[in-house]
Chains A and B, each alone.
Chain A
Amino acid sequence: MKLSIPEEEIMGHGHLACQGCGAALAMRYALKAFGRNTVMTFPACCWSVIDGPFPHSAVNVPLFHTCFEAAASTASGIKAGFDAQGKDVNVVAWAGDGGTYDIGIQALSGAAERNDDIIYVCYDNEAYMNTGVQRSGSTPYLSWTTTTPVKHPKQRPKKDIVSIMAAHRIPYLATASVAFPEDMITKFKKAKDIKGTRFLLVFSPCPPGWRANPENTIKLAKLAVLTRVFPLIEVENGRVWKLTKKVRTVKPVSEYLKLQGRFRHLSEDDVAVIQENTNKDWEILMDKVGEKD
């Protein structure tokens, strides 16, 4: 029998992620795709902690911890250093959604505009988890967080980071999910072999932050795709949009929402609005993809 993803484990065990952490799985798959000829940089995020205390490290590739706003610029600098030495290394910025959608967006936009030869991965758990579940630009509409309590849940939609990055006309960007590791690893391998700025967004459930059961991490990540809440796509040069996972039987968003405590306060009307928004976003995406379904 052949395994559907590479057998070699680069990420080690003993790391400090919570039980069922999607971000830990995302790293496991990412390293399988990138291989050992990789250097990473983390801004402040859960992964700064998950990796373990100095001088120990769970990723087993060289790693540079950087400040919250500087993942992309740190990666650009590391890449320039390797270029000067004539070394060809995959340089990966690995950041959370807070470090990407919000505080790190200036550095990311700069690197993308220059088309610096780096891979930027955002593991998206839809809030500032490391500091105790504060709202981020990625937190979905009407979600609970500690800064958007149930009496005042988030009133703004999740920021469309994919369109923002596509507008930079970078050679490659893709979304991925920990529930579809084969798709994710194919995209990460493809990204590795492209020159220029590559942006990869990985949907990564966070059981404590989403008030969800750790055993449901894969279920939730799968439902996000099957309900069209998180479509799996690729965008080349900002212009060619492709859907990489076609959903034959679309599920209602309620199936995804009801497994998560962060949405427990929603009324039926709220769920209907979320369903409507999801349908509208899908139509807009289909226009870009140039498909009808």
Chain B
Amino acid sequence: MPKKSEVKIIFESIKDMPPLAVSLYTMDYNKTGSWRNVRPIIDYDKCTYCTICWKFCPEPSIDLEKIEVDGKEKFKPIINYKYCKGCGICWTECPVDAIYTEEESE
């Protein structure tokens, strides 16, 4: 089941339409991951949790998860492949080359 916010709204008739041009929902239904030719993959052995990839993702399709490393709170970047367009900014900007790539086959 897709989340409610991931459903595309289709009006069956003019009666369903709101009286004004208002936004009713997000763009979450639009899975832009299908645009991707190249898949970025984070190598967590190299990742220093600097969050630079997260900072520069235009989608945004990198989520942050709070984790503890050596008793310190860190943010772990996790790529959301549902929406990542494969633009390459994250692997270009990563200062320690922790993001490698694979060609998408489908």
How many chain A residues touch the partner (CB < 8 A)?
40
Using CB atoms, name the residue of chain A closest to B21: A54
Task: Give B25's nearest chain A residue, CB to CB.
Answer: A56
Closest beta carbon of chain A to B58's beta carbon, Å: 4
Residue of A7, A9, A55 near B18 (CB, 8 A) is A55
Residues in A with CB closer than 8 Å to B22 are: 55, 62
Residues of A within 8 A of B51 (CB): 1, 3-4
**Which residues 168-216 in A have Cβ within 8 Å of B in the complex?**
181, 207, 213-216
Task: Let me know if A72 is at the binding interface, CB within 8 A.
Answer: no
Residue interface mask B18-54, A partner, CB < 8 A = 1: 1001111111111110010000000000000101000
Residues from chain A with a CB closer than 8 A to the CB of B23 are 54-57, 62-63
A189–B24 CA distance with the chains assembled, in angstroms: 28
Q: How long is the Cα–Cα vector from A132 to B80 in the complex, in angstroms? A: 30
Residue total for B at the interface (Cβ-Cβ under 8 A): 40
- Known A1-B49, A9-B60, A20-B87; judge A14-B27 contact (CB<8 A): yes
**Complex: A21 Cα to B74 Cα, angstroms:** 28
- Asked if B73 and A1 sit within 8 Å, CB to CB, the answer is yes
A147 contacts chain B at the CB level, 8 A cutoff: no
Name the prevailing secondary structure of the B interface residues: loop
- Cβ contact of B87, chosen from A5, A14, A57, A217, cutoff 8 A: A217
A7 to B64, CA, bound (A): 9
CA distance A19 to B33 in the complex (A): 11
Alpha-carbon gap, A214 to B35, bound state (A): 13
Question: A218 contacts the other chain (Cβ, under 8 Å)?
Answer: yes
Contact between A11 and B60, CB atoms less than 8 A apart: yes
Is B30's CB under 8 angstroms from A52's CB? yes
A24: CB under 8 A from chain B? yes
Shortest C-beta distance, B7 to chain A (Å), equals 10
In this complex, the member of A17, A51, A56 whose beta carbon has the largest number of chain B beta carbons within 10 angstroms is A56
Write 25 A-B pairs (CB below 8 A) sorted by A numbering.
A1-B49, A1-B51, A1-B72, A1-B75, A5-B55, A9-B60, A12-B28, A13-B32, A13-B60, A14-B30, A14-B32, A14-B83, A15-B30, A24-B58, A24-B59, A28-B58, A52-B27, A54-B21, A54-B23, A55-B22, A55-B24, A56-B23, A56-B29, A62-B22, A214-B89
